[in-house]
Amino acid sequence: METVNFLLDRPVALVVVLMVGALIGVAFERAVASADAAKRKAYWRGRNAQRFGKKSAGLRKIEAAERGQAIRSDMAADQLKIVSRAKFTSRSLLNKSEAKVFEALDKAVITRNPKWQVMAQVSLGEFLASPDKDAFFAVNSKRVDFALMDERCRVVHALEYQGSGHHTGASAAARDAVKKEALRKAGIGYHEVVAGHTTPSELRALVDRLVPAMDV
């Protein structure tokens, strides 16, 4: 009672006390409201995460793909810088002995069936496919010397020219074995033309056996 009378006798002090009390009350209410808002936000975040979990996973995949694309773009930019600083010259796709085989092979194929074509130095990844990424990468950059392509642009047979410059050794044999196995599984024939052993007549006979004659 004495405190009340003291404040009543001093109106300025009373006003100060009331203002302090009001400020404390407002601060307390704001703290409580903020805590409630944080709880509600956390609740709805958890609920949405459960409800849209599949969508979130999809979004994560998209983000991962975008990051991968950004990395590839950076790599392409770096490669462009390197290529821009380098010097390039053109060179023959085939050496002299390979060119002779190609000429004879192309002539024999056109004579047998003009709808078929001979392709040179073709990467296996251009005409083979596999759901196994590791297996595909194992053969993707390997090449065959010559590929016989039918009228539907399918490679039906692959020919390897075993010339004097053909690589020898265990590693070369292993690479050839990889190519042979991949071609075999794809149902594509594998044949060898050996320098100094395969005669022009034998090459024509091989083409007659591999390429069907065009219907007249």
Residue 142 near residue 128, CB atoms below 8 Å: no
Provide the residue ranges of all domains of the chain, joining segments of one domain with +. Answer: 2-85, 96-210
For the stretch 18-33, pLDDT in tens is: 565 556 655 656 665 6
**H runs (alpha helix) in 86-166:** 96-112, 133-139
Architecture of domain 96-210: 3-Layer(aba) Sandwich (3.40)
pLDDT, the chain, mean: 82
- The whole-angstrom separation of Cα 209 and Cα 213 is 10
pLDDT interval class at 10 (50, 70, 90): low
Higher pLDDT, 43 or 160: 160
Residue 120 near residue 102, CB atoms below 8 Å: yes
For the stretch 32-84, pLDDT in tens is: 566 666 666 665 565 555 555 555 666 667 667 777 677 777 888 899 999 99
pLDDT at 4 over 50: no
The model carries a pTM of 0.64
